[in-house]
């Protein structure tokens, strides 16, 4: 059976606009992962593997980031990054296989969103448990586990606030929201939104970025011989998650997305 080349796959699985989606494409996907996924696609398009099966596998990889981060020191942080990168790869591959095989489904879209929720939450929960020092031999400080859980909850709520706009509009019989409707009606709120977007602090609570930050913190902590920076990072991410959850809610209510 003919195995398609990358050149044959590209126009089908990467149609115009895929890499330019404002909220649907991660910057790492545009930077390198879409090129890697194309090479994985070649070996899967002629198999019985379905897009939904890949999405299930993607979700498992994302969730496994949490136990990976429980491994002490730099090895655990590296393993966490590996699991999240595998999640990102499969997140690219499942949609590309769906386009090639024309196996589109609402369940696939739904499962993809569930996977995104779980991956973000798993990384932040893993960070909190890591900061609590479960295997350190001393007293476990559950404050850090609580802060990690708080950060995970915030990351999930932010995604839910966005997705629930579509639910509210559907139940009201309104069409899908247009991009222009996301702009706040207040000039002050619009300025604050642009400032937050420019600083990109909110990205730190996304699983992919958070996993890289955790690795950086682990490297610094290894030079100190303690968990100071991991714990500082846990507190900072919890604060960002709470603040971003509130600001995002206000942003939705201040825009025309629900009208």
Rg (CA), the chain: 20
For domain 6-254, is the CATH number 1.20.120.1760?
A: yes
| pLDDT at residue 239 is higher than 60 | yes
Mean pLDDT of the chain: 89
Name the helix (H) or strand (E) containing 25. Answer: none
- What's the pLDDT score for residue 16? 77
163 to 159, 252, 257: CA distances (angstroms):
6, 11, 11
Distance CA 158, CA 46 (A): 38
| pLDDT at residue 30 is higher than 80 | yes
Segments making up each domain of the chain, as ranges? 6-254
Across 209-233, average pLDDT: 96
Across 20-30, average pLDDT: 72
Distance CA 107, CA 26 (A): 21
């Amino acid at each position: 059976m003919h195995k398609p080349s990358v050149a044959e796959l590209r126009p089908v699985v990467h149609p115009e606009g895929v890499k330019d989606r404002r909220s649907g494409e991660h910057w790492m996907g545009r930077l390198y992962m879409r090129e890697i996924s194309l090479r994985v696609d070649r070996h899967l398009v002629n198999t019985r593997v379905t897009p939904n099966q890949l999405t299930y596998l993607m979700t498992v990889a994302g969730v496994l980031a949490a136990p990976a981060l429980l491994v002490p020191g730099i090895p655990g942080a590296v393993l966490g990054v590996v699991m999240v990168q595998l999640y990102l790869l499969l997140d690219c591959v499942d949609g590309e296989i769906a386009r090639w095989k024309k196996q589109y489904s609402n369940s696939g879209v739904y499962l993809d969103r569930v996977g995104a929720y779980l991956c973000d939450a798993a990384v932040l929960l893993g960070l909190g448990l890591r900061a609590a020092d479960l295997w350190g031999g001393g007293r476990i400080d559950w404050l850090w586990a609580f802060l990690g859980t708080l950060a995970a909850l915030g990351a999930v709520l932010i995604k839910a606030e966005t997705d629930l706009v579509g639910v509210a509009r559907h139940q009201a019989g309104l069409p899908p929201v247009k991009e222009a409707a996301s702009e706040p009606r207040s000039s002050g709120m619009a300025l604050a939104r642009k400032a937050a977007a420019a600083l990109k602090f909110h990205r730190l609570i996304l699983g992919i970025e958070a996993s890289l930050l955790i690795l950086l913190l682990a490297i610094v902590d290894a030079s100190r011989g303690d968990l100071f920076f991991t714990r500082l990072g846990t507190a900072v991410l919890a604060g960002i998650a709470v603040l971003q959850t509130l600001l995002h809610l206000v942003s939705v209510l201040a825009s025309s997305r629900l009208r």
